[in-house]
Amino acid sequence: MSTIVVTAFRWVPPFAQGLVRDLRVRWALGEAGLDYEERLIGPEDQNTASYRPRQPFGQVPVLEQDGLVLFESGAIVMHIAEGSTALMPAEPALAARTKTWMLAALSTLEPPILALNTLGMKEATSEGVASTRAQVVGRVQQRLSSLSAWLEGKDYLEGSFSAGDLLMTTVLRVLRDTDMVASLPVLDAYQRRCESRPAFRKALAAQLATFAAHAPPKVSAH
């Protein structure tokens, strides 16, 4: 089998560790039973003439295999899922439902959560954005409540674990410094259930190990 290469950051600050989106790709490859190699980059690589053709925006992840170069974590996960019944059912209608939930995670849940992250996850970053932040909090809570209602009585979004659950879980993780998921028992149990999967634990450990291996030296206080 041809080599799969995943581009990831060699290090990010602690607040972002465990959230960088190569985690999604590592997890999907693990669920699909596919091995991969890392290609690590840093800020100095993001705007180079060698990297921008792979990722037009200078971000991570990038997946490369047999001359195919893909960027955007959602597109990469969908590509992996389309080749693995562990992530997407073979039956066309069920596959379509999986894709629907993948897009729901990235289009309905993630945008307001990322907006909240910009405005201040725990409190407003400034008085000027407090009102806007309050509106965004309401939108996030509304989306989470709707998702929780859907999951009532279910282990996963559509019967069995799929790429939709994978992306949804990584979106919910952005709220880890709040109680917004924990305050909804059904949603909290769902996230924990997904994060207990061996492929997730392996993917997270791999990402964190990379960051630990490339952490900048600590400066001693004198």
Residue 218 is predicted with a pLDDT of 84
Nearest-angstrom CA–CA distance, 18 and 206: 10
Q: For residue 70, how far is the Cα from the chain centroid?
A: 16
At 167-198, the pLDDT tens digits run 999 999 999 999 999 999 999 999 999 999 99
Q: How many domains does the chain have?
A: 2
Q: Which domain holds residue 21?
A: 5-85+200-213
On the CB side of 27, CA atoms within 13 Å amount to 30
- Please check whether residues 118 and 162 belong to one and the same domain: yes
Residue 2 is predicted with a pLDDT of 87
* Any domain includes 220: no
* Any domain includes 58: yes
- What CATH number did the domain enclosing 16 receive? 3.40.30.10
Residue 222 is predicted with a pLDDT of 58
Q: What does each of the 222 residues of the chain score in pLDDT, given as a tens digit?
A: 689 999 999 999 999 999 999 999 999 999 999 999 999 999 999 999 999 999 999 999 999 999 999 999 999 999 999 999 999 999 999 999 999 999 999 999 999 999 999 999 999 999 999 999 999 999 999 999 999 999 999 999 999 999 999 999 999 999 999 999 999 999 999 999 999 999 999 999 999 999 999 999 986 665
Three-class SS of residue 7? strand
Residue 1 is predicted with a pLDDT of 64
Tokens encoding 50: 């060698």
- Please check whether residues 23 and 41 belong to one and the same domain: yes
Nearest-angstrom CA–CA distance, 162 and 111: 21
